[in-house]
């Protein structure tokens, strides 16, 4: 199988865009997400030309692909203004809202003027929700029926309007008086019961699972994942249906959050864009902030070291092991932090479990520290005995100091690393802001103090 890159597909589409037959052939087996992906590789003018050449139905589908986000806004500038209105009008409501979120505020009124009054109103409602909430990712195209309908009536409605809705696999039953959501039935349930039954009679008796418009999208993802739903309804305070969040939006959410979490754990702001698409200046901005903050905190190590300068001058051999013992604390801390961040995100742990974790991480850290301590001790004694390097007459004391310091530093690292996400959550931050470099920096200063204190206790009267 020959693998064709998206760059090649993009160039091909652009080359043939003004010959309908060749374009038809080039489109061949391509699916809309593939076309959207290829358009991202083209400059906006070129992408707009390909878009204009596509059959209208296909153009709408391509423009509806979340893959095209961040590019649609640039492409639309180059599309014939007379065609922009119908194109936006035909998009699904959640993608319309996404598009308008990208448009600079000063251009919004001009673009809003191209769509119908009802679309404009729907858009203004959707745009008031933050993009990381249920309201920000929901769509307003769903199937709703009154609670006095029969299964047969519901199925007839679906076969009429089904093609135009985001999903038909969940049908929302509302009270005809209050419009409140009272029941949800699945299309599967509708198909497997007698057609004259009332829709309220089928499916689960429990009140339907719902979220509010301001519910965090991560929480929506957790609900859909836990309860194996294809969509979850978003309701207001009167239980009226505002929209639904579908499982494919939730998958996009999960993948985005995963990228954010890894980047933040790496010690930077989330990029919010693919690596190759972000400008050099933006890249520096996203990275310099945390790097400077970490650097300024790490300066405390210089301050700590200044206090021990006399000891270092007297026994330079002590300095040799500073990077080794310090980094071990950071490493064990980074392990503990990654464990707790995920356990909190998955709700395996609650804030009030912090002391149970502390009681677990301290002994874990002591054991891990002892393992490293023994290795460190052995290394010094071995190097001395094998005459690889001479640490002076007091090498046994030095080895003991390094070994014991490691026990303390690794234990402290585990404890601090595991408590940091709890602390962040407690003071109202996202626990996932605790990055590996953040923990390492936190542990470094204390690590130095532990190292020199242990060394001072053990080497006093000999080396120091």
408 near a second copy, rule: CB under 8 A: no
210 near a second copy, rule: CB under 8 A: no
DSSP annotation of 350 reads -
> What are phi and psi for residue 288, nearest 5 degrees?
-65, -35
72-80, 172-180, 358-366, 455-463 -> range binding a second copy (CB under 8 A): 358-366
Nearer to a second copy, 83 or 169 (CB): 169
DSSP annotation of 240 reads B
- The only residue of 4, 15, 130, 346 in contact with a second copy, by rule CB under 8 A: 346
Residues in CB range of 208: below 8 A, 6 or more apart: 181, 183, 184, 233
Task: State which of positions 170-189 bind a second copy (CB under 8 A).
Answer: 187-188
Residues in CB range of 90: below 8 A, 6 or more apart: 56, 60
Nearer to a second copy, 111 or 137 (CB): 137
Size of the residue set binding a second copy (CB under 8 A): 115
CB of 291 to a second copy, least distance (A): 6
Tokens of 265: 């754990």
Distance (Å, whole) CA 209 – CA 149: 21
User: Sign of torsion, CA 363 368 372 378?
Assistant: positive
Distance (Å, whole) CA 104 – CA 407: 55
45 near a second copy, rule: CB under 8 A: no
Rounded (5°) CA angle 278-281-282: 50
Distance (Å, whole) CA 198 – CA 176: 14
CB of 107 to a second copy, least distance (A): 28
Contact (CB, 8 A) for 202 and 185:
yes
- The only residue of 349, 405, 459, 464 in contact with a second copy, by rule CB under 8 A: 349
44-52, 75-83, 237-245, 347-355 -> range binding a second copy (CB under 8 A): 347-355
CB of 110 to a second copy, least distance (A): 31
- The only residue of 69, 225, 433, 453 in contact with a second copy, by rule CB under 8 A: 225
CB of 220 to a second copy, least distance (A): 12
Task: State which of positions 72-131 bind a second copy (CB under 8 A).
Answer: none
Task: State which of positions 25-44 bind a second copy (CB under 8 A).
Answer: 29, 31, 33
450 near a second copy, rule: CB under 8 A: no
CB of 356 to a second copy, least distance (A): 8
Contact (CB, 8 A) for 376 and 403:
yes
């Amino acid at each position: 199988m020959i693998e064709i890159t998206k760059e090649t597909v993009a160039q091909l589409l652009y080359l043939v865009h003004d010959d309908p037959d060749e374009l038809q052939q080039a489109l061949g087996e391509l699916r809309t997400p593939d076309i959207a992906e290829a358009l991202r590789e083209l400059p906006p003018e070129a992408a707009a030309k390909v878009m204009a050449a596509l059959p209208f139905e296909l153009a709408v589908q391509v423009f509806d692909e979340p893959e095209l986000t961040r590019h649609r806004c640039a492409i639309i500038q180059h599309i014939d203004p007379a065609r922009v209105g119908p194109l936006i009008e035909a998009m699904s409501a959640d993608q319309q809202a996404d598009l308008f979120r990208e448009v600079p505020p000063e251009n919004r009124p001009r673009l809003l003027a191209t769509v119908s009054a009802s679309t404009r109103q729907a858009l203004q409602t959707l745009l008031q929700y933050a993009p990381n909430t249920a309201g920000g990712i929901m769509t307003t195209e769903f199937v709703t029926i009154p609670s006095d309908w029969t299964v047969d009536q519901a199925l007839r409605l679906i076969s009429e309007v089904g093609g135009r809705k985001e999903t038909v696999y969940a049908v929302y039953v509302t009270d005809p008086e209050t419009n409140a959501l009272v029941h949800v039935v699945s299309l599967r349930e509708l198909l497997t019961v007698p057609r004259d039954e009332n829709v309220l009679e089928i499916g689960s008796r429990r009140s339907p699972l719902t979220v509010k418009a301001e519910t965090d999208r991560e929480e929506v993802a957790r609900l859909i994942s836990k309860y194996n739903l294809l969509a979850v309804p978003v309701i207001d305070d009167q239980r009226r249906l505002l929209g639904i969040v579908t499982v494919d939006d939730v998958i996009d959410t999960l993948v985005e959050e995963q990228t954010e979490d890894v980047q933040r754990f790496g010690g930077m702001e989330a990029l919010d864009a693919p690596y190759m698409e972000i400008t050099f200046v933006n890249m520096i901005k996203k990275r310099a902030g945390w790097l400077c903050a970490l650097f300024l905190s790490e300066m405390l190590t210089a301050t700590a070291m200044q206090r021990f300068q006399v000891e270092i001058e007297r026994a330079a051999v002590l300095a040799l092991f500073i990077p080794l013992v310090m980094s071990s604390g950071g490493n064990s801390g980074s392990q503990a932090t990654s464990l707790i961040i995920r356990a909190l995100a998955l709700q395996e742990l609650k804030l009030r479990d912090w002391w149970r974790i502390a009681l677990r991480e301290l002994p874990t850290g002591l054991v891990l520290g002892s393992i490293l301590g023994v290795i460190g001790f052995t290394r010094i004694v071995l190097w001395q005995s094998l005459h690889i390097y001479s640490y002076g007459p007091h090498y046994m004391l030095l080895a003991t100091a390094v070994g014991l310091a490691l026990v303390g530093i690794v234990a402290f690292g585990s404890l601090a690393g595991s408590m940091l996400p709890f602390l962040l959550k407690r003071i109202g931050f996202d626990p996932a802001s605790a990055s590996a470099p953040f923990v390492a920096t936190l542990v470094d200063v204390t690590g130095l103090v532990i190292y020199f204190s242990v060394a001072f206790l053990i080497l006093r009267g000999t080396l120091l």
